[in-house]
Amino acid sequence: MKAVDIERAVARLAAEVADRARAEGSERGLAIVGIRRGGVHLAGRLRKRLAKLLDHEPPLGTVDIALYRDDLDEKGAVPVVGPTDVRFPVDGKTIVLVDDVLYTGRTVRAALDELVDFGRPRRVWLLVLVDRGGRELPIAPDFVGERLSVLPQEDVQVRLTEGGAAEDQVIVTRRTP
């Protein structure tokens, strides 16, 4: 995906979220949570667009799933723990959980576990820029920017300008063994 595709996808995703929130009467109770690190900048962009569409700015949070991983014993070293920052009350909210790439679903599982430790949201929607398939858990996204068919030995990288990239792009690279 090129910069223009990404921008178009984010605009469409924001519109879809706004429509569904209106349809369900939950636009006031909307909150956005980005999964570190890939989902954070995307969550910020989504919030900006939603603020325009809904005439109010939904609260924004960040979760870091390092403490909720299920592979502490498998990794070469313990994963780096980044900041989790959820300052608004989660109870009763409609949370849009945002990540850049959806793959096995394990990250989303961990993020959901973490989210419910902050309270009981009314519902959680999963929004991803790229769904690359390959799920290992029964998790499905509610909003998808683009579906890609990618081989297991390939990596999908979402590079955004907020993260230091020269321009927004989604690239698929073959993993070096």
Partner 1 sequence: MIGRHRHCLGLADYSPEDIVEVLDLAVSMKEVLKRPIKKVPSLRGKSVVNLFFEASTRTRSSFEVAAKVLSADSLNWTASTSSVSKGETLIDTVKNLEAMRPDVLVIRHSAGGAPALVAQRVDCSVISAGDGSHEHPSQGLLDCFTLREKLGSLVGRTVTIVGDITHSRVARSDLYGLARLGARTRVCGPPTMIPPGIEALGPTVHTDLKEAVAGVDAVIMLRIQHERIGDPLIPGTREYSRLWGLNARKAEEWLSPTCLIMHPGPINRGVELEPEVADGPRSVILDQVENGVAVRMALLYLLAGGPEAANEAKA
Give contact residues for partner 1 (rule: CB under 8 A): 64, 66-69, 72-73, 75-85, 113-114, 117-119
Q: Which is nearer to partner 1, 44 or 82 (CB)?
A: 82
Q: Which is nearer to partner 1, 84 or 107 (CB)?
A: 84
Contacts of 58 (CB under 8 A, 6+ apart): 30, 31, 32, 47, 50, 51, 96
Calpha distance 111→67 (Å, rounded): 10
Residue carrying structure tokens 């297991």: 152
Task: Supply the angle between the helices 38-54 and 3-23 in degrees, to the nearest 10.
Answer: 60
Q: Which is nearer to partner 1, 59 or 79 (CB)?
A: 79
Strand partners, 98: 34, 127
Calpha distance 21→35 (Å, rounded): 21
Q: Which is nearer to partner 1, 21 or 90 (CB)?
A: 90
We find the least distance from the C-beta atom of residue 57 to partner 1, in angstroms, to be 23
123-131/154-159 β-pairing: unpaired
We find the least distance from the C-beta atom of residue 76 to partner 1, in angstroms, to be 5
We find the least distance from the C-beta atom of residue 81 to partner 1, in angstroms, to be 5
| Residue 144 structure tokens | 């998808």
We find the least distance from the C-beta atom of residue 79 to partner 1, in angstroms, to be 8
Residue carrying structure tokens 């850049």: 100
We find the least distance from the C-beta atom of residue 92 to partner 1, in angstroms, to be 14
Q: Which is nearer to partner 1, 63 or 127 (CB)?
A: 63
